[in-house]
Structure 1
Amino acid sequence: MSPATEGELSEIVADATGPLRVMGGGTRAIGRAVAGEVVSVAALSGVELYEPGALTIVVRAGTPLAEVETVLAAEGQRLPFEPMDHRVLLGTTGEPTIGGVVAANVSGPRRIQAGAARDSLIGLRFVDGRGTVIKNGGRVMKNVTGYDLVKLMAGSWGTLGVLSEVAFKVLPAPAAAASLSLSGLSHTRAVAAMAAALGSPFEVNGAAHLSQTGQTLLRIEGFAASVAYRAERLADLMAPFGAVTVNTDAAMVCAIWRDVRDVAGFAGRAGDVWRVSVKPSDAPALAARIGGDVIFDLGGGLIWALVPEGSDLRARLGDFTGHAMLIRADAATRGRIASFQPEAAPLAAIAARLRATFDPRGILNPGLMTG
């Protein structure tokens, strides 16, 4: 089923007699399989309102992400949070939708400065599990439910409601960018270098370390003169960690950080991929427990890990402060190992109450996040 209007979507959900598998572009095969009738929001597409001067855009949830980015680029603007394209890592097809970006709270390396998708989201409309249309934030500022639904829906993976419209604050695109690279650093030295860069006054908005190539990468963006000055000063700051290469070619900088964003280093390689969120200072020790290839993003606050197929990385890591999410694995492994970090009892109880409130029949992507 592919409703073309919010009203049709509301009727489909209200009339449902069994589970519904909510989909956007079908590019993120993450979580346990949902046995249910497919409801695609792909036909709910188009820009509803764009005010470049106000730095706001309102779009229907099924709008392709590429279309949103093209509209913004024509006005010299962009989404602040640099959403990852999961197709590269997962080997999927289709077109990522802006609603899917919100549902999964997708972001990229710039999250370290600009926040995640939920931090740029200012309003939304969705259909809950009863078929009721609910709106929150954006042009309708009154919160009649008592919940901050804008934040709640981001990262809910379609388990609380089916998004029909989203509104974002956007930012101007930078005039220039530079990528700095160091080679051969250990995990510990790489985290120290990234911490020094992020703690500097040079407004670093990308900090990654790739074990496969031995590169430690830093990014700065802004006006051309400012980028040139900050790149020079940052290179001086990084000199104690080793030789620094500075790249200011716009196309090359974009390609370097697109590969970091999309975890291209693990694309097409055998093995499962996990996403581990940790304190940056804990990243080197956890990487040692993981073994094999890892990618540090967000200054070490995010570890991408490539492990043998069928591995339960949580069991290998043991107790640690953070959480681990299984991103790429076959259906059998995703059926055996929970993709999403199991919640502590108090949080699980809150999540269950929220689902009971917004989807009392339990028909929206049941089992996807909880198993």
Structure 2
Amino acid sequence: MSWIDIPAGSPFTPDNLPLGVFRHGDEEPRVGAAIGDQIIDLAPVASAQMLDGAQLFAEPTLNAFLALGRPAWRATRSWLLELVRNANDRDTVEPHLIPQSAVTMLLPFEVADYVDFYASEQHATNLGRLFRPDSEPLLPNWKHLPVGYHGRAGTIVASGTDIVRPSGQRKPPDAAVPVFGPSQRLDIEVELGYVVGTPSTLGKPVSVDDFEDHVYGVVLVNDWSARDLQAWEYVPLGPFLGKSFATSISPWVVSLDALAASAVPLPTQDPPVLPYLAGSALVNYDITFEVYLNGHLVSSPPYRDIYWSPAQMLAHMTVNGATLRTGDLYASGTISGPEKTQRGSFIELTWAGREPLVVAGKEHTFLEDGDQVTITAWAQSPDGTRLGLGEVTGRILPA
């Protein structure tokens, strides 16, 4: 319930209240909370109520707020819930409601490091069948540890940023030597990203039980991929230029507390994991994604059955003593379900281009110049309540 009018179907209900950074006209960027189709401009509201740390909402990124840690995050969420539910706060808040259509959303936090995992068994199996048809689809290590790689923080961009088609080396199957030029197999990867707030100490691993002490919330991720560049370069050291040219994230960070009602137990892992990856309360989230190509729905990947939990990814990322920093982002890797309509990349949806999608009467394999991809998602609780995660979108420009 809220005294603020919420349009039907809005992802930003009164129990969601994600945080983001916006610019209104020529004013300085600052922090807001989304509700319905509006933004609560938090800096003046917090100042009017003499809230401790009010100045943090006047910052151009969420980093200072993220660094405060879980007690402050929960206190802030409680304050926000009271603002939108208590009509006595209306006179304070209402003058500082801004239509989302009137602002420009920016990158919500300054990204410190970026790690991309490979946590969906269905996706890893599909790619294994495509790349190694005469071998087992999963490599021997896959069910023993969350496979991942260290990405490029500097090329993470806000939703709405145009993506220039990358160029690089690629080796066509019938060519004796590689050629240089624009990628011909440009793709998407539907992912869920986890935003780190509280840092850790060098040399001290973070356990699975401490996940919620370090991670504030989630964003939607589209990790654009140049499959032909990737295929030529990735052996023996893994992804590089085929993945590092751009990764888009959604502008609103949804807190773990808001997501809590959609938590589901982690599916059984077989074989059993090593002790540092084991826990009695490991969860995923019941989230459904939707992928739109030029406005047409082409896929609906489910997150709830992903093999590795976010707590296990965090534990593995730090088990060697590597630090967490405020603003670190780590992502799930491509999310795919068992059905063809649940695949989270075009290489899977079109089976490496051999089975084109027909969208609005036209065949599609990989992305063409001018194509626009929008990814949305919502989390669902057992009572059927939906909580939206917003959207991440990008349009392909020619090289």
Task: Settle same-fold status: TM greater than 0.5.
Answer: no
In proportion to residue count, which structure has more helix?
A: 1
TM-score range, shorter chain: under 0.3
